[in-house]
Amino acid sequence: MGMRRAKQFKPAGAPTRQEQKRQADKWRGSASDRGYNHRWSKARDTFLKRNPLCVGCLASDRVEPATVVDHVDPHHGDPEKFWDSSMWQASCKWHHDSVKQRLEQLYASGAIHLQDLWLNSTIAIRIAKGMRCDEV
């Protein structure tokens, strides 16, 4: 049997994950408000069929299936950026949720350029290497 996860500490009165998600949706709009609807679902599936492996993992000599279609250029609700498939990249969840988030922080602060947001960019590979704990 696997190890049990320690119970998460939650200060009294702190919002639950569900309440936090509801609050975030109010602030940025729900997933469907942001364009993630049936049309997106079909486009995403087609893209992943054509691009089945994570771009970031391939750049680090790893082979991992892509499960996420990432918008290289954060679209912030702009439909033109949202549907520009030349700016989509196939990503595993780990690259999308960790490396790409760090890249977007750097981009928002002006420290890196748009082309650095590709998960196979030199900076993305360097960030991924620094984050990986399973490298030997």
CB atoms within 10 A of CB 64: 18
pLDDT at 122: 97
Position 16 in a domain: no
Residue with tokens 């990503």: 91
pLDDT at 49: 98
Position 97 in a domain: yes
pLDDT at 23: 72
Position 34 in a domain: no
Position 32 in a domain: no
Position 127 in a domain: yes
Work out how many domains the chain is built from and give that number: 1
pLDDT at 114: 97
Whole-structure pTM value: 0.72
The parts of the chain modelled with pLDDT lower than 50 are: 135-136
Identify the domain containing residue 72 by its residue range: 40-131
8 Å CB contact between 75 and 82:
yes
Number of Cα atoms under 13 Å in the Cβ half of residue 46: 7
pLDDT at 13: 76
Per-residue pLDDT reduced to its tens digit, 44-58: 999 999 999 999 999
Position 17 in a domain: no
Distance CA 71, CA 82 (A): 7
Residue with tokens 């309440």: 19
